[in-house]
Amino acid sequence: MFPLKQKHSFAVDVNAKQVIEIDSIGALQSLVWKNDTYILGEGTNTIFTEDFNGQLIINRLSGIEIKESETGWHVYAAAGENWHKLVVKLIGLGIYGSENLALIPGSVGAAPVQNIGAYGVEVATFIDRVEVYDCKLHVQTTLSHEECEFAYRDSIFKRPAHWHWFITGVHFFFPKAWQAVLGYPDLASLASDATAEQIMSHVIKIRQQKLPDPARVPNAGSFFKNPVIPQADCQRLQADFPGIPVFLQANGECKLAAAWLIDKAGLKSLSVGGAAVHERQALVLVNRNNASGADILSLAEHIQTNVRERYGVELEPEVRLLNDYGLIYS
């Protein structure tokens, strides 16, 4: 058995039956895909709720290549590279665009899966194409930006039909024509001519203040997605809950802040066993004291039930929860 406590940032003390680390495409060629195989990057968005009896494969592919063109930079990063280190490297080289996405935990390969986003910027904006290895057919393919079907915290890589695709690397394009994105309240204190370096430093500072460091307080970042609901439902909520933050989407729907819903439902200090709602950011659940998988699931269910009864809104997990065999929810 292989201990998983150090392999995922929520640090539940469970084991896996089999772990295979992939550091070359060659290692993928000999892999036999099974129904219980699960691909893991840095484990910052996955929670193992019990011993995992399947085959766990961990992405350790490394390497970064950068080519300059007249209009921008073509950047290729292998999927096992750390996302934040890539951001720091790019900003240091004068390649701008990813500064708002600094300090998001996880690997480069995980970034397109849930189309990571922060402070008004989504990674999809800079993704030109994604390279995948089909572990069933044993062929390598490239998906264009359009084929990735990027949406809010979503992509084709989340669909169960494609879980056997192992992302090997991501091709980005960062245009030289750069413009700062400063629309979010947390960035309002920055000057309108702030540089990408200043934005990155500010984002790092804010995130360090607001979010618990997984190395000290184990967590998996945002536990739930921000719900997106029809406008009519939103108007009903605005009448019932004056002051509720609402963000109108391009398609006419409304995005709600899940953290606000949880906080105002009085759930901020809630805990079940060793699992708790973080006191500074209600969207983050933490492993306060040797939480078991059952503690986490029970806490999450309690929050979902409360939010449903109070607001009539469904909270969906953003994290990937696994039981002994595979995904409970993705």
Q: Is 222 in the site for ligand NAP (CB under 6 A)?
A: yes
Residue type, 120: G
Please name which of 208, 225, 213 lies closest in space to residue 261, comparing C-alpha atoms.
Answer: 225
**From the candidates 42, 81, 99, 318, which is the catalytic residue?**
318
User: What is the rounded (10 degree) CA torsion for 22, 11, 317, 264?
Assistant: -150
Binding mask 260-299 for ligand NAP (x = CB under 6 A): ---------------------x-x----------------
Annotated active-site residue 310? The verdict is no
Nearest approach, Cβ of residue 185 and ligand NAP (Å): 6
The C-alpha angle with vertex 242 and arms to 240 and 247, in degrees rounded to 5, equals 105
Q: Is 119 in the site for ligand NAP (CB under 6 A)?
A: yes
Q: Is 212 in the site for ligand NAP (CB under 6 A)?
A: no
Closer to ligand NAP by Cβ: residue 29 or 249: 249
Q: Is 44 in the site for ligand NAP (CB under 6 A)?
A: no
Nearest approach, Cβ of residue 104 and ligand NAP (Å): 6
Q: Is 104 in the site for ligand NAP (CB under 6 A)?
A: yes
User: Cα separation of 67 and 181, whole Å?
Assistant: 24
Stretch that binds ligand NAP, among 67-75, 87-95, 111-119, 271-279 (CB under 6 A): 111-119
Stretch that binds ligand NAP, among 79-87, 164-172, 181-189, 288-296 (CB under 6 A): 181-189
Q: Name the percent of the chain in helix, strand, coil, to the closest 5.
A: 25, 30, 45
User: Cα separation of 41 and 64, whole Å?
Assistant: 17
Annotated active-site residue 318? The verdict is yes
User: Cα separation of 102 and 221, whole Å?
Assistant: 14
Q: Is 204 in the site for ligand NAP (CB under 6 A)?
A: no
Q: Is 257 in the site for ligand NAP (CB under 6 A)?
A: yes
Closer to ligand NAP by Cβ: residue 27 or 228: 228
The DSSP code sequence of 80-134 is: TSBHHHHHHHHHHTT--S-GGGTT--SBTTHHHHTT-EETTEEGGGGEEEEEEEE
Residue pair 307/265 in contact by the 8 Å Cβ criterion: yes
Annotated active-site residue 216? The verdict is no
Contact footprint for ligand NAP (CB under 6 A): 104, 116-119, 183-186, 210, 221-222, 226, 245, 247, 255, 257, 259, 281, 283
Active site residues: 153, 222, 318
